[in-house]
Amino acid sequence: MTILRKTEASLLLLVVFMIVLAGCRGAESYNETFDAPGNWRTGNDADAVGEVHDGVYDLTVEADDVIIWTAAGEDFADGVYQVEATQVDGPLNNGYGMLFRLDDEKDDFYLFKISGDGYVWIGRYRNGGETEAEPLIGEWWFESPAIQQGLNKTNTLRVQAEGGNMIFFVNGQEVGRVTDDAFKRGDIGLMVETLGLGGVRVQFDNFTVTPLEQAN
């Protein structure tokens, strides 16, 4: 699990729990049900706890104003990325979702996240956000009626990525599309962000990556 500490000036301190070597999957399907930890990073410290149990990846962030992510140790390019996310505790002013095309050495990735109170953020991070956290749709967060707000509500996030063309969905409803060729391929991940108050707990399940020819 990787921890990012964010100050008011968006200066981030990176702490790496463990290093996972990424495998190359090519055009194979991927289906993670979290019945076992597999290669997903797990760990805990004073800021966060990430563990696999009872068929979910359970990520709790106790610290204020931080982004925590964990990665799978995989490698994908084009495909349909999908994950189910359920906030089970904590304030609704938060962020949670998926990373994809993650370069684990540079900490460059695309990020698709929602909040418990009904907002979406879609963009890219470079150097874990230390040098750039840039929204690709809208100016920053934007509101969406597609999100099921509140605790114990499961939201399905899905991205259809073909080259630089990406379409984003929440619960089957399109929330944005963009063309950007900054990142070609990489790992996948899960993330939780606290925005002021800690104690945000989110459970993730059924992370799939489906080749485009199989998804159509």
Residue-wise pLDDT tens digits, 163-203: 999 999 999 999 999 999 999 999 999 999 999 999 999 99
Q: Which tokens is 75 given?
A: 């490698």
**Residues in Cβ contact with 132 at an 8 Å cutoff, skipping those fewer than 6 apart:** 124, 125, 126
Mean pLDDT value of segment 1-18:
37
Count CB neighbours of 154 within 10 A.
Answer: 13
For the chain, domains (ranges, CATH) are: 2-18+27-215 (2.60.120.560)
Given a cut of 90, is residue 16 above it in pLDDT? no
**Which phi and psi (to 5°) does residue 211 adopt?**
-55, 145
Q: What is the pLDDT of residue 38?
A: 86
Contact 112, 159 (CB under 8 A): yes
Mean pLDDT value of segment 40-58:
95
Tell me the DSSP string of 75-136. -B-SEEEEEEEEEEES-SSEEEEEEEEEETTTTEEEEEEE-TTSEEEEEEEEGGGTSEEEES
Q: Are strands 173-179 and 165-170 parallel, antiparallel or unpaired?
A: antiparallel
pTM greater than the 0.85 cutoff: yes
